[in-house]
Amino acid sequence: MRPVYAISGGVSKFAKSRPDKTFPALIKESYDYAIADLGLDFPTFTEIVDGSVASYFSDHFTRQLMAAIMGQDYLGLLPKPSHRVEGGGATGGICFQEVWKSIASGHMDVGVGYGFETMSHVETWKGNEFIALASDVSTDYPVGGFYSGYYAMMVTRHMKEYGTTVEDMAHVSVKNHINAYHNPYAQKRNRYTIEDVRNAVMVAWPLTRLDICVMSDGAASTILASEEGIRKLEAAGAIIPRPLVKVTGIGRGTDAMRMADRPHVDYEFFMKNYATQQEKDSDETKAYYKDLWDRGTRYPGVHSFRAGRTAGNQAYQHAGVYDPLEELDFVELHDAYTSSEIQTYEDLGLCRYGEGGPFASSGKAFLPNIDYGIDLPEASACAVNPSGGLIACGHPVGATGLMQAVFAIWQLQGSIGKHFKDATLQIENAKRGAIHSHAGTGTYVTVSILERE
């Protein structure tokens, strides 16, 4: 496999509704930005780029089959190779990794991943119905298909087993919304308090409206290249910032469509197959987990994402990450729900299983230079969702994973101030970050590691 570099990206403005543009034009908004940021014009880049991967989740929202080719057509990429990927909420993350594979394998030197979703084409509760069709239509959907309900069930179990509190979840909402206050691409830029989150309308107990991401229209594009691709682009006049941003690890995991079907494995099986290397090496952690299992924990059950742990372990091994909390400067993760951000802290090894709640309230995932209006007992250790995440940026499904990649590229290029016109969210001297894209009730999860060389 050849080295692959993430060299540019663009994000359309995410909004509840973007009736001003067709979805191909929305994609082009992000694509043009990525090209312009390289300092190239459209015809020059079109001549050099070898192909693309397209990302969108639902044919239902567009009521348009083969929408991907309409994007390819509108971007002027015909007759170059392309294909569409689909993996629920992880579609964007999968797209990013498929472009990576095309470059790493030598099939392409310069590739683009573009994605979109236009969820405003139906009313909110119909949109929830479409999303709920990503559950088994024989056994699950008819019971009361509703993703907020599914995630609420997961977190009641997490609360019962581990003592996670609604206030822990509210910390995530406050953090991500206030971060997004400095992100002009975000859909929701509000300063909320813990009380605001808890007093918001209850959607699915214990998740309130401010624990849940919103539906969005939006698009995002990323450009990846090999060393040869970078030479071609620079020969044509591209300005690619140094040091380069390299994609050093990818990982992907899966789990059962019906969360009821997930296994409940014992301590030995967990330690052998799912524990991180760091956890395996620590006698104290092994004793901690043995105690959890002695008190009834089984893995992954409905409270944890085996796919996320698998994806993280693969990506960490690929990139040589041992202690993610120490070795990652930031993580852009899939916080469709505040509760799933807490679950994902654990899956990604930022803390141990069962410690996600206290981790959320500790301050470790907050940015050090922002006043959140909360007393945080500990210092920032690894900023999680410095962009504002899905909860505040919005979640136009096919674009979301690519949006995370774009924000990660900008963090590592040190160019947040340039792109956001506000440098508040720039993590000082950011060297390595992870992006995490997640589908269904944890069915597909991707983790990719990006590093500044």
Partner 1 sequence: MTMLPKKRPETLGGYIVHNVPFPKELTPEALEWLKQMTPIQIEQPYSITYLHSYAQDSPWFAGLTNKKLLASQDVETGYTYATPRGHDMYTGAETNWIDITDRHAEVHAFTVCHFGSEEFLAETPFVLIQVEFEGVDTLLLSRLAGVDPLKASLDWIGMEIVPKFLRNSKLKPTDVYFVPA
What is the pattern of x (binds partner 1, CB under 8 A) and - over residues 18-37? -xx-----------------
DSSP 8-state code for residue 16: S
Q: Can residue 191 be called a binding residue for partner 1 (CB under 8 A)?
A: no
Answer for which of 11, 132, 384, 406 binds partner 1 (CB under 8 A) is: 132
Cβ proximity of 109 and 103 under 8 Å: yes
Cβ proximity of 11 and 183 under 8 Å: no
| β-bridge pairing 110-118 and 217-225 | antiparallel
Is the backbone peptide bond immediately before 386 cis, with ω within 30 degrees of 0? no
Answer for which of 1, 66, 78, 137 binds partner 1 (CB under 8 A) is: 137
Q: Can residue 145 be called a binding residue for partner 1 (CB under 8 A)?
A: yes
End-to-end CA distance of the chain: 18
Answer for which of 65, 138, 294, 421 binds partner 1 (CB under 8 A) is: 138
Q: Which is nearer to partner 1, 38 or 166 (CB)?
A: 166
| β-bridge pairing 383-384 and 432-438 | unpaired
Answer for which of 261, 291, 326, 453 binds partner 1 (CB under 8 A) is: 261
Nearest of 157, 116, 149 to residue 131 by alpha carbon: 149
Answer for which of 105, 106, 142, 379 binds partner 1 (CB under 8 A) is: 142
Element (H, E) at 435: strand 432-438
Question: Which residue's entry shows tokens 């802290």?
Answer: 345
Q: Can residue 369 be called a binding residue for partner 1 (CB under 8 A)?
A: no
Q: What is the dihedral of CA 55, 58, 62, 68, to 10 degrees?
A: 30
Nearest of 14, 9, 11 to residue 394 by alpha carbon: 14
CB of 269 to partner 1, least distance (A): 12
DSSP 8-state code for residue 266: -
Answer for which of 128, 193, 278, 285 binds partner 1 (CB under 8 A) is: 128
Answer for which of 204, 247, 321, 406 binds partner 1 (CB under 8 A) is: 204
CA 438 to chain centre: 7
CB of 140 to partner 1, least distance (A): 5
Q: Can residue 273 be called a binding residue for partner 1 (CB under 8 A)?
A: no
DSSP H helices in 133-252:
141-144, 147-162, 166-180, 194-199, 227-235
Is the backbone peptide bond immediately before 396 cis, with ω within 30 degrees of 0? no
Q: Which is nearer to partner 1, 78 or 133 (CB)?
A: 133
Q: Can residue 148 be called a binding residue for partner 1 (CB under 8 A)?
A: yes
- Stretch of residues binding partner 1 (CB under 8 A), selected from 76-84, 143-151, 178-186, 387-395: 143-151
Q: Can residue 38 be called a binding residue for partner 1 (CB under 8 A)?
A: no
Q: Can residue 203 be called a binding residue for partner 1 (CB under 8 A)?
A: yes
CB of 207 to partner 1, least distance (A): 8
Number of residues engaging partner 1 in binding (CB under 8 A): 47
Element (H, E) at 92: helix 91-104
- Stretch of residues binding partner 1 (CB under 8 A), selected from 205-213, 220-228, 329-337, 340-348: 205-213
Residues that bind partner 1 (CB under 8 A): 19-20, 63, 123, 125-126, 128-129, 131-132, 136-140, 142-146, 148-150, 152-154, 156-157, 159-160, 201-207, 256, 258-264, 302-303
